[in-house]
Homo-oligomer: A and B are copies of this chain.
Amino acid sequence: MSEVIRTTRTPPEPALPSFDVYEFDKDTAVTCMETSGVTSVWTADLSAGWNIGANPNGGYVLAVAGRAISAALPQHPDPLSVTAHYLRPAQPGPATITVDVARTGRKHSTASATFVQNGRERIRVLATYGDLSAQEGPTRIEAEAPQIPAMDACISRGSLSDDGSTIAGRVNAMLDPGLGWTRGTPGGTAALTGWISFKDERPADPLSLLFFADAFPPALFDWLPEKVWLPTIELTVHVRGKPAPGPLRGVTRTRFLMDGYLEEDGELWDSSNRMVAQSRQLGMVFRP
């Protein structure tokens, strides 16, 4: 466990925010060690401040890998579609990310990455990046933003767990109080809504959506009264827009729990009522 160190800071400039004062940016920083052809090697140092239980949150690990991929693809800084397969739990401490660029095109670039700690691969990633500011074409949406009670009427995720998780020191996840399991009475629809933002008020950006897409507790807690571990096998995030300032609203849902395997679908909506990321993960019910 690490201590959460608060630093005094001034608000970022709207035009060109200096993100290096924020915890998320310090804790996802990557350094290029070597570049050879389409391959580049990056180092990072996972913080213990984003843990669920004793291990770094999967979305945080993905964001670190995602930052290395972004740095390796300077023409296309924004993640558009990012898939991670989780091989082993990550740990706080040093990591090596090796990025292999498959294609650099006019609109998109595609790369894969391995994320290794202590000689063992933790996640493998495949991603296409682009430039969200340059997207143009028709728009038509048949969906509505999630309706959630005001933030101060919601339930802090951190208040619901006492398993040594540190992530509540970094993230405000405020859950809809209508969720049965937050009151100890699960059994509903396995749909979860809530607000989410960084505690230090870092603005959400495309990279951070990779993290936020995996930062709510499992919607399945509404179906399974017993405490179970739900490891993620695979997580895919589609980043669909640059988030407007302000907290995000998230909605996640599980519809098919089949023989211990489940999908969880998620959406993140920004303060301008724009859906900015969709996610889906395949997980499993694990009883040790």
Which residues of A are in contact with B by a Cβ distance under 8 Å?
80-81, 83, 85, 87-88, 102-103, 105, 108, 110, 112, 114, 121, 124-128, 135-143, 189-190, 223-224, 233-234, 236, 238, 240-241, 255-261, 263, 275, 278, 280, 282, 284-285
**A interface: dominant SS:** strand
Q: Select which of B88, B136, B241, B257 is within 8 A of A141 by beta carbon.
A: B257
A88 / chain B contacts, CB cutoff of 8 Å: 103
Contact A278–B260 (Cβ < 8 Å): no
Contact A236–B83 (Cβ < 8 Å): yes
State the CA gap A189–B143 with chains docked (Å). 11
A136 / chain B contacts, CB cutoff of 8 Å: 259-260
A255 / chain B contacts, CB cutoff of 8 Å: 141-143
A236 / chain B contacts, CB cutoff of 8 Å: 83, 234, 236, 280
A81 / chain B contacts, CB cutoff of 8 Å: 85, 233-234, 282
Contact A258–B285 (Cβ < 8 Å): no
Contact B85–A102 (Cβ < 8 Å): yes
Counting every copy of the chain, the complex holds 2
State the CA gap A190–B139 with chains docked (Å). 13
Nearest-CB residue, chain B, relative to A82: B234
Contact A137–B282 (Cβ < 8 Å): no
Q: Select which of B105, B121, B261, B263 is within 8 A of A137 by beta carbon.
A: B261
Q: Contacts A110-B87, A121-B103, A126-B83: A285 and B233 contacting too (C-beta < 8 A)? A: no
A256 / chain B contacts, CB cutoff of 8 Å: 141, 143, 240, 275, 278
Q: Contacts A121-B103, A260-B135, A282-B238: A112 and B87 contacting too (C-beta < 8 A)? A: no
25 sampled A-B residue pairs with Cβ under 8 A:
A80-B233, A80-B282, A81-B85, A87-B103, A87-B110, A88-B103, A103-B121, A112-B124, A126-B126, A128-B233, A135-B261, A136-B259, A136-B260, A137-B285, A138-B260, A140-B190, A140-B223, A141-B256, A236-B280, A238-B263, A238-B282, A240-B256, A240-B263, A256-B278, A280-B280
Contact B261–A128 (Cβ < 8 Å): no
Contact B121–A102 (Cβ < 8 Å): yes
